[in-house]
């Protein structure tokens, strides 16, 4: 049983992700409670527990023996990292770029998280006032424009006789607004705070705005009507009200912090930046079907790539930067929509200002973030080394694929025939009563005699594949059952049916009869197996070069499993 469980666990853990997930904190903790040392790196009890909590679930079926397998995988991963360091991978320009981008990303994320502030308090007065407002809902229409000037243009057009809904559709470049701008009937709290106040106070039919939407654009709002709303009791909705108020405050705090960074770093969009980006990039990108893998591939002259679209303190955001960001992926603007492009340019420039702010605050030098950076760089080393030495193309011939099939042939067995007994009941209660006897009666006939004497029964011999839909649907179920098992009740036109499997015949398809999709699946398994063998051979050879010390007595004392300490959803293991 242990052997089978270990095989299943290893099968699930095949592949390069193991290097990246297992022990993502190894070698990062202080040198105490060491369970193993690989070269100059220490793997501690804290490392083991952090990795097990994050990735240990696939090992759960192995019981206490899993901690030895898990520790061994951590050691193998560290061997790969040490080998990559000895190969000088940390001096590779691509890796250095990866380290720089990881540092910026970790610092940026920490800074953005700090902008939301600490615990947010919500007063009882705020809760009561919010609850009071829930006695009314409003029918709202909106126009969302990318800039204040665009919103003012839309407002001027509407006041000049243009249809509100048509303007909403014309300026809806982000796609966030429903057709015609009709947001429907809304309760207070459904919109941003500034819009919420307008929804509550604006006269019906009057246009309010432009209203700043905290970086999302500028709104025009019109209340089409109001009506009473049914409120749940306060205690029923109190929790939802508190959470909504807390999120609003947190969001407001975040955007105030972001506005401070924008002002401190003097983020400034150049006049005509959106038009410039559209003119220079739209044609060349369209000519290549939008598929470009590098900045150089587009062939833009250096003078064009150097055109400044926006500036911030200490730097400039150029057309070349914009093209590189587009190639990297993520949200991209419609280059034909100038307001949307300008909003995107400003967001990308603000991103660089945030990274600068994080560097100035030396956030990544804090111990927790420094450990996170070291973990990411170790992952980068491991991934690069693994790709070079393990996942390089393998030559898998038909013999290897056939061997994979022969090793696991029974699991591809198909149902060829089934002999069944069928009992037909007038009602589900009688069928259920018979099933209660099925566990100890020994057969469906005996169970019927105990629970519903006189119920009509018959036997049937079925061949598979079966063309009759009534029996075709049972193919997988019969294949998984053992003779003597019963299933049901199932409703049919004549009543309720309970079925007993009396016998079945399974057959394994021959190698020659395998369909192409199954052969492709077997080839994938063969590649995985060969990579696993190569990985094992490589790490075995590394042990002869890199010193490894294992403190078996300390591993023996480790607690396992750690399931009881895993938060819900943690440790799915991929």
* Residues 535, 553 within the same domain: no
Give the number of domains in the chain.
5
Q: Which of 39, 42, 12 is nearest to 30 (CA)?
A: 42
* Residues 487, 422 within the same domain: yes
Strand partners, 424: 497
Strands (E), 79-176: 136-145
**pLDDT at position 499, please?**
92
Residue 108 counted as domain residue? no
Q: Which residue has the higher pLDDT, 190 or 131?
A: 131
**pLDDT at position 562, please?**
61
What are 213-222's pLDDT values in tens digits? 766 678 899 9
**pLDDT at position 561, please?**
64
**pLDDT at position 215, please?**
63
* Residues 516, 404 within the same domain: yes
Cis peptide before 468 (omega within 30 of 0): no
Q: Each residue of 193-206: b (16+ CB within 10 Å) or e?
A: ebbbebbeebeeee
* Residues 163, 79 within the same domain: no
* Residues 317, 450 within the same domain: no
Please state, in angstroms and rounded to a whole number, the distance separating the CA atoms of residues 64 and 85: 33
Residue 468 counted as domain residue? yes
* Residues 88, 175 within the same domain: no
What is the phi-psi region of residue 205: left when phi exceeds 0, alpha when psi lies from -120 to 50, beta otherwise? left
Please state, in angstroms and rounded to a whole number, the distance separating the CA atoms of residues 196 and 219: 12
What are 402-459's pLDDT values in tens digits? 888 888 888 888 899 999 999 999 888 888 888 888 778 889 999 999 888 889 999 9
* Residues 160, 226 within the same domain: yes
Q: Which of 222, 183, 227, 230 is nearest to 205 (CA)?
A: 222
Cis peptide before 465 (omega within 30 of 0): yes
Within 10 angstroms of residue 179's Cβ, the number of other Cβ atoms is 9
**pLDDT at position 569, please?**
34
Helix axes 516-543 and 367-389, enclosed angle (nearest 10):
110
Is 90 exceeded by the pLDDT of residue 121? no
% of the chain residues with pLDDT over 90: 24
* Residues 14, 47 within the same domain: yes
* Coil/strand/helix, residue 457: strand
* Residues 297, 341 within the same domain: yes
**pLDDT at position 53, please?**
80
**pLDDT at position 31, please?**
53
Tokens matching residue 264: 């401190």
In the 8-state DSSP scheme, what is residue 506? E
Phi, psi values for residue 84, rounded to 5°: -65, -40
Cis peptide before 489 (omega within 30 of 0): yes
* Residues 557, 496 within the same domain: no
Neighbour order of strands in the sheet with 34-38: 41-44, 34-38, 548-550
* Residues 452, 320 within the same domain: no
Alpha-carbon torsion (464, 468, 471, 476), positive or negative: positive
Residue 371 counted as domain residue? no
% of the chain residues with pLDDT over 70: 90
Is 80 exceeded by the pLDDT of residue 332? no
Residue 239 counted as domain residue? no
**pLDDT at position 290, please?**
66
Residue 461 counted as domain residue? yes
**pLDDT at position 113, please?**
86
CB-based burial label for 341 (10 Å; 0-12, 13-18, 19+): buried
Q: Which among 230, 251, 284 is the end of a domain? A: 230
What are 278-316's pLDDT values in tens digits? 888 888 877 777 677 777 777 788 899 899 999 999 899
What are 180-208's pLDDT values in tens digits? 889 899 888 888 777 888 888 889 999 99
What are 59-98's pLDDT values in tens digits? 766 777 888 888 898 899 899 989 888 888 777 777 888 8
**pLDDT at position 364, please?**
87
Range of the domain at 282: 268-360
Please state, in angstroms and rounded to a whole number, the distance separating the CA atoms of residues 160 and 221: 17
**pLDDT at position 563, please?**
52
Residue 209 counted as domain residue? yes
CATH code: domain of residue 424 = 3.10.50.40
Within 10 angstroms of residue 428's Cβ, the number of other Cβ atoms is 14
Residue 250 counted as domain residue? no
What are 341-371's pLDDT values in tens digits? 888 899 899 999 999 999 999 988 888 888 8
Helix axes 234-264 and 93-115, enclosed angle (nearest 10):
130
Q: Give the model's confidence band at 564: pLDDT under 50 very low, under 70 low, under 90 confident, else very high.
A: very low
* Residues 537, 552 within the same domain: no
Residue 429 counted as domain residue? yes
Please state, in angstroms and rounded to a whole number, the distance separating the CA atoms of residues 185 and 398: 64
Q: What are the angstrom distances between the C-alpha of 54 and each of 16, 33, 60, 415?
A: 17, 20, 13, 40
Q: Which residue has the higher pLDDT, 330 or 253?
A: 253
Q: Give the model's confidence band at 528: pLDDT under 50 very low, under 70 low, under 90 confident, else very high.
A: confident
Is 80 exceeded by the pLDDT of residue 99? yes
Supply the mean pLDDT for the chain: 83
Phi, psi values for residue 457, rounded to 5°: -135, 155
The 8 Å CB, 24+ separation contacts for 408-412 are 408/525, 409/508, 410/508, 412/508, 412/509, 412/514, 412/518
**pLDDT at position 570, please?**
31
What are 2-43's pLDDT values in tens digits? 344 444 444 444 444 344 344 444 444 445 589 999 998 888
Q: Within the chain, what is the greatest distance between any pair of CA atoms? A: 94
């Amino acid at each position: 049983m242990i052997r089978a469980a270990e095989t299943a666990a290893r099968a699930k853990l095949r592949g390069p992700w193991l290097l990246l997930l297992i022990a993502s904190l190894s070698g990062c903790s202080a040198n105490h409670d060491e369970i193993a040392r690989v070269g100059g790196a220490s793997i501690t009890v804290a490392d083991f527990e952090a990795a097990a909590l994050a990735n240990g679930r696939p090992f759960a079926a192995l019981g206490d023996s899993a901690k030895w397998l898990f520790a061994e995988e951590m050691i193998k991963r560290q061997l790969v990292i040490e080998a990559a360091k000895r190969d000088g991978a940390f001096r590779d320009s691509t890796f250095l770029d990866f380290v720089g981008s990881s540092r910026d990303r970790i610092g940026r994320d920490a800074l953005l998280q700090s902008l939301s502030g600490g615990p947010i308090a919500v007063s009882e007065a705020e809760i009561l006032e919010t609850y009071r407002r829930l006695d009314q809902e409003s029918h709202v229409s909106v126009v969302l424009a990318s800039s204040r000037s665009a919103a003012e243009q839309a407002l001027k057009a509407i006041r000049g006789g243009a249809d509100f809904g048509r303007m909403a559709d014309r300026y809806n470049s982000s796609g966030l607004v429903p057709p015609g701008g009709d947001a429907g009937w809304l309760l207070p709290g459904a919109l941003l705070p500034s819009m919420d106040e307008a929804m509550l106070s604006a006269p019906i039919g009057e246009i309010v705005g432009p209203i700043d939407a905290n970086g999302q654009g500028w709104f025009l709002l019109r209340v089409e009507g109001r009506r009473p709303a049914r409120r749940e009791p306060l205690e029923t909705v109190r929790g939802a009200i508190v959470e909504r108020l807390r999120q609003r405050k947190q969001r407001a705090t975040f955007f105030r912090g972001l506005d401070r960074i924008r002002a401190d770093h003097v983020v400034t969009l150049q006049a005509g930046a959106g038009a410039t980006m559209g003119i220079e990039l739209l044609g060349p990108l369209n000519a290549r079907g939008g598929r470009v893998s590098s900045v150089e591939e587009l062939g833009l002259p250096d003078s064009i790539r150097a055109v400044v679209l926006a500036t911030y303190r200490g730097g400039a955001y150029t057309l070349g930067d914009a093209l590189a960001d587009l190639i990297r992926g993520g949200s991209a603007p419609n280059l034909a929509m100038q307001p949307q492009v300008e909003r995107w340019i400003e967001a990308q420039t603000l991103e660089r200002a945030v990274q600068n702010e994080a560097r100035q605050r030396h956030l990544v030098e804090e111990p927790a973030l420094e450990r996170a950076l070291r973990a990411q760089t170790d992952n980068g080393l491991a991934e690069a080394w693994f790709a070079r030495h393990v996942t390089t193309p393998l030559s898998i011939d038909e013999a290897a694929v056939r061997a994979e099939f022969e090793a696991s042939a029974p699991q591809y067995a198909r149902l060829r025939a089934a002999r069944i007994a069928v009992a037909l009941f007038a009602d589900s209660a009688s069928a259920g009563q018979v099933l209660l006897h099925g566990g100890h009666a020994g057969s469906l006939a005996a169970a019927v005699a105990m629970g519903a004497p006189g119920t009509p029964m018959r036997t049937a011999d079925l061949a598979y594949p079966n063309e009759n839909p009534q029996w075709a649907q049972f193919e997988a179920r019969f294949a998984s059952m053992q003779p003597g098992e019963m299933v049901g009740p199932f409703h049919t036109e004549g009543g309720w049916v309970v079925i007993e499997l009396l016998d079945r015949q399974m057959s394994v398809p021959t190698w020659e009869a395998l369909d192409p999709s199954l052969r492709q699946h077997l080839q994938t398994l063969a590649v995985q197996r060969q990579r696993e063998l190569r990985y094992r051979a490589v790490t075995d050879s590394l042990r002869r070069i890199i010193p490894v010390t294992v403190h078996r007595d300390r591993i023996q004392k480790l607690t396992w499993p750690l399931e009881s300490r895993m938060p819900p959803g943690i440790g799915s293991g991929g």
